[in-house]
Amino acid sequence: MRRFTTLTMMVLLAACKPAADKAPAPDSSDADPVAPPVPEAKNDGPGAATTAVSLDGEGLRFVDRTSGKTSLLAFGVPRAQAEAALANVAGKEDDRSTNEECGAGPMEFTRYDAMTLNFQDGKFTGWFLGNEPGADAYSTTSGIAVGTTRAKAKESVTIVDIEDSTLGEEFSIGTGDKQIGGMFAAPGDAAPIDALFAGVNCFFR
């Protein structure tokens, strides 16, 4: 699903007590696990101030914040081109990984905060946006984003629920090659979108 780590400062307090009054040191096996710090989203590429990234069923659409002009990074372009385009806005990638056992066949991935680009045979084939820091930097042209409630989304798009999906509260918006998929966090109109995706993804249905 990392990124810039949030630095935390630990202040150790020591009480000045006689040795006889000190409590025995706790067994490390009884200590509560400490959650890792939540990484901060970067969105610090050289073009971040002038370019926005819009979610699209055919790839990712880059929008000039001044003129409003758009350009589509379409599925099928070489991996290096896709990575360079997103890095211009999102900054350096967080990691690369591979999964040989995806339902669609072996895939490679490059992750930038909440956004993951998917590749097969060296080509950009899909994207996945999770509910993680940095997700709020992306939305569709109609304003649909991770965190948008079902009720709000229905005001601008037609939501098609995927019946009996093994992924949970799965849905789609758009049609044909322009279709975007997603998952709600729960049933009901108040449920927020928990993930959005398009193209080829590593799902097991």
Secondary structure of 1-64 in the HEC alphabet?
CCCECCCCCCCCCCCCCCHHHCCCCCCHHHCCCCCCCCCECCCCCCCCCCEEEEEECCEEEEEE
Q: For residues 163 and 141, what is the distance between their CA atoms, to the nearest angstrom?
A: 26
Which of 135, 88, 40 lies closest to 144 in space, CA to CA?
Answer: 135
Strand ranges (E), 39-146: 51-56, 59-64, 70-74, 95-99, 107-112, 115-120, 123-130, 138-140
Q: For residues 81 and 123, what is the distance between their CA atoms, to the nearest angstrom?
A: 9
How confident is the prediction along the chain (205 residues), in pLDDT tens digits per residue? 433 333 333 333 333 333 334 444 444 444 444 544 545 667 889 999 999 999 999 999 999 999 999 999 999 999 999 999 999 999 999 999 999 999 899 999 999 999 999 999 999 999 999 999 999 999 999 999 999 999 999 999 999 999 989 889 999 999 887 899 999 999 999 999 999 999 999 987 6
0.85 exceeded by pTM: no
**Rg for the chain, CA atoms, rounded:** 21
